[in-house]
Amino acid sequence: MGTSTTSGPNPAREKQFVIGRFPGFATTSWVFLLYLYIPIFLLIIFSFNASHSATIWHGFSLEWYLKAFANDDVQRAAVNSLIVAFSATVVATVVAVFAALILARGGRFRGRGLSYGILMLPMTMPEIVTAVATLSFFTAIKLDIGLGRVVIAHTVFCIPFAFLPIRARLQGMDTTLEQAAQDLYANEWQTFRYVTLPLLMPGIISGAMLSFIISIDDFIITLMVAPAGSTTLPLYIYGMVRMGVTPEVNALSTVMLAISLVFVSTSYLIGRKKQAVTPKK
Amino acid sequence: MRLLQSTPMRRVLGLGPALGIIGFFMVVPIAIIVVFSFMKSNPYGGVNPEFSLEAYKQFLFERNLMDELVFNAAYLRIFGRSFLLALVTTALCLLIGFPTAYYMSRQPARRKNLMVFLVTIPFWTNLLIRAYCWILLLRDTGIINNYLIKWGIIDEPLTLLYTNFAIFLGLVYTHIPFMVLPIYARVEKLDFNLLEAAHDLYASRRQLMRHVILPLAAPGIIAGCLLVFVPCLGDFIIPNLLGGGKHLMIGSLIQLQFGGSRNWPFGSAAALILMSFVLIAMMIYVWGPGRKMKPEGGA
């Protein structure tokens, strides 16, 4: 959309001087979005390529998906990834719910800012620092529990990702329903169980889903702390990418992209339901 | 009436588990690498529990055959290069990210939400896969070269991968959502009346940008720059995969110390130096110019 001042025959689409519109901004934005998505689309398209070459199009095929799924190493890595992501998500979400309740509803108290800072720490620290620190710690206390090391490390960095949507939900929540429940002689537990928790659910689901993909996708921390035999999908893909470009990697990457996409979209849609559930006064 | 009465007991029970997990498995580990960085390295991995400043000395000096300390700028160069790379990436992200964020904020609500969503999605996808997408495109036998040759535009493949161009392409690609989103959050709240008022007072487009929009967007710009600069500084996946690992970065330097070349104290010291850069950046953000306009709690 340029800034030409010609008054065309269509007055509705006439581009006259619009306050706050700058030339080139629209082009930059659309070019930027193309830059963001073209590589991803090409990856997806070429994962369906019927040839051994990963980069020349020969026709549609599901061959590489079948190959990737049939691969024992891929299966093992996928199972590991799911175990880790599931355990880390459950623990992180549960502790995040309680932390969010206290921080969003608990009023002001000493150490509130510090608590918030510590909760956000895993998000602000460069991943490589967290990775080597965790590795040093596990080595120092001689913690040798295989995949459990990965689960612990993932739980730590999943907490802030679970916490933020839950807290956002709590902050935007109308308390009139809870007050009504208490007026009707619901005790504190009943109010929480039958009013607060259901209202909070979209935030909890949204936080859990974000934790899940953050865990499934993590690479740097897993690379450092995972002992031999605890390969996750990203580690497996890294090993293959270093060997070169193969159509199998394209297929596997596309599957992982699809998982992320489904989870983020669902989390986003659930988060948007907020307006429908709690009408604003 | 306060729902969920906040008693000290409940605060401990509620915050305890989350803070305990992060405290025990993150704060303690960081304390441990502080200790490690002051110890002697064990060539078989790990450390020897003896106090030593060797790890920090190693940044600036190396020991020659006579066991004397000689100045060595190799590690300084690695830090310098990482800084430069992060700085240029931040500038590029700002150059593309600001117009995009501003344009997004001026769209109708539906399209606005869609665009925010589109910018966010790549953040939630695997970093390796995003880097791999570019390998697929840029290799000598990649999609770009293959099709340019097929269509007879070039005869020889262009060298695109393992260049600085590829590194910047990848770094901007993976970090730019962190620039767009904070700026968007600021300019989206921009009061349109201010722009109109400035326009009525004969402000040109340039003046509008310089004296109205940019000052109001400044906290978002600062936040965006920090959110790009900090992770970029420690990134090593993109420089390794798209740059071919020809030049060491801080991130890969740290990683190598805990892997093949095994000097844990030195790796710990490098990690702590990287961490202190992050802390400085965060302090600039918290106490810097954007403080008064930042909503309480942040994020």
User: What size, in residues, is chain B?
Assistant: 299
- Could you read off the pLDDT of A111-157 as tens digits, one per residue? 888 888 889 888 888 889 999 999 999 988 888 888 999 999 999 99
The answer to whether the CB atoms of A105 and B132 lie below 8 A apart is no
Q: What is the pLDDT of residue A276?
A: 46
B121-154 pLDDT, tens digit each: 888 888 888 888 898 888 888 888 888 888 888 8
Which chain A residues have a beta carbon less than 8 Å from that of B115?
Answer: 29, 33
CB contact (8 A) between residue B11 and residue A32: no
Q: Do the domain assignments include residue B251?
A: yes
Q: What is the pLDDT of residue A3?
A: 45
Q: What is the domain count for chain B? A: 1
pLDDT tens across B59-112, in order?
Answer: 887 777 777 777 887 888 888 889 999 999 999 999 999 999 999 988 888 888
- Residue A60 half-sphere exposure toward CB, CA atoms < 13 A: 0
Distance CA B69, CA B54 (A): 11
Residue B289: pLDDT band (50, 70, 90) is: low
Gap from B44 CA to chain A (nearest CA, Å)? 13
Where helices occur in chain A by DSSP H, the ranges are 25-47, 63-70, 72-105, 112-124, 127-140, 147-171, 176-183, 188-191, 197-217, 220-225, 233-243, 247-272, 274-277
Predicted confidence at residue A65, as pLDDT, reads 86
* Residue B240 located in a structural domain: yes
CATH number of the domain bearing residue B288: 1.10.3720.10
Neighbours of A78 (CB within 10 A): 20
Cα separation, A252 vs A250, in Å, equals 6
pLDDT band (50, 70, 90) for residue B260: low
**A173 in Cβ contact with A220 (< 8 Å):** no
Comparing CB atoms, the residue among A91, A245, A256 nearest residue B126 is A256
Q: Which residues of chain A have pLDDT under 50?
A: 1-9, 11-14, 275-281
ipTM over 0.85: no
Is A103 within 8 Å of B15 when comparing Cβ atoms? yes
Report yes or no: A234 and A154 within 8 Å, Cβ to Cβ.
Answer: no
Question: Given A55, A163, A178, which is nearest B3 (Cβ)?
Answer: A178
Per-residue pLDDT at A13: 47
What pLDDT was estimated at residue B3? Answer: 53
Q: What is the pLDDT of residue B219?
A: 83
* pLDDT reported for residue B5: 63
What pLDDT does A85 receive?
94
d(CA A156, CA B78) in angstroms, rounded, equals 30
Please give the pLDDT value at position A84: 95
Q: Is the Cβ–Cβ distance between B266 and B41 less than 8 Å? A: yes
Residue B50 located in a structural domain = no
Task: Identify the residue among B2, B4, B160 best suited for mutation to test binding to A, counting A beta carbons within 10 A and taking the highest.
Answer: B4
Alpha helices in B106-175 (DSSP H): 109-120, 127-138, 143-150, 164-175
Q: Give percent above pLDDT 90 in chain B.
A: 19
What confidence category does residue B4 fall into, taking pLDDT thresholds of 50, 70 and 90? low
Shortest Cα distance from B68 to chain A (angstroms)?
30
The answer to whether position B122 is within a domain reads yes
Taking CA atoms, A265 is separated from A37, A259, B120, B124, B177, in Å, by 16, 10, 10, 10, 17
Which DSSP string do the residues of B26-70 spell out, in sequence order?
A: IIHHHHHHHHHHTEEE-TTSSEEEEE--HHHHTTTEEE-TTS-EE
Cβ neighbors of B55 (< 8 A, separation 6 or more) are B37, B38, B39, B41, B263, B265, B266, B268, B269
Nearby residues of B134 by Cβ (< 8 Å), 6 or more positions away: A39, B161, B166, B169, B170, B173, B242
* Strand ranges, E, within chain B: 39-41, 47-51, 61-63, 69-71
The two structure tokens encoding residue B299? 């994020």
| Domain span including residue B106 | 76-292
Which chain A residues are Cβ-neighbours of B1 within 8 angstroms?
179, 182
Does the distance separating the beta carbons of A119 and B22 come in below 8 Å?
Answer: yes
* Res A86: pLDDT: 95
Q: How far is A136 from chain B (nearest CA, A)?
A: 7
Judge whether B42 lies within some domain: no
B85-99, B190-204, B256-270, range with greatest mean pLDDT:
B85-99
Q: Is residue B33 part of a domain?
A: no
pTM score, whole prediction: 0.83
Is the pLDDT at B282 greater than 70, yes or no?
Answer: yes
* Average of per-residue pLDDT values in chain B: 83
Q: Is residue B216 part of a domain?
A: yes
Nearest to A264 among B97, B124, B173 (CB): B124
Angstrom distance (rounded) from CA B260 to CA B240: 16
Confidence of residue B163 (pLDDT cuts 50, 70, 90): confident
Query: What whole-number percentage of chain A has pLDDT above 70?
Result: 89
Report the run of H or E that residue B195 belongs to, with start and end.
helix B192-200
Which of A28, A127, A159 has the CB atom closest to B22's CB atom? Answer: A159
Does residue B18 sit within a domain? no
Q: Which of A93, A112, A91 is nearest to A103 (CA)?
A: A112
A125 with B19: Cβ contact below 8 A? no
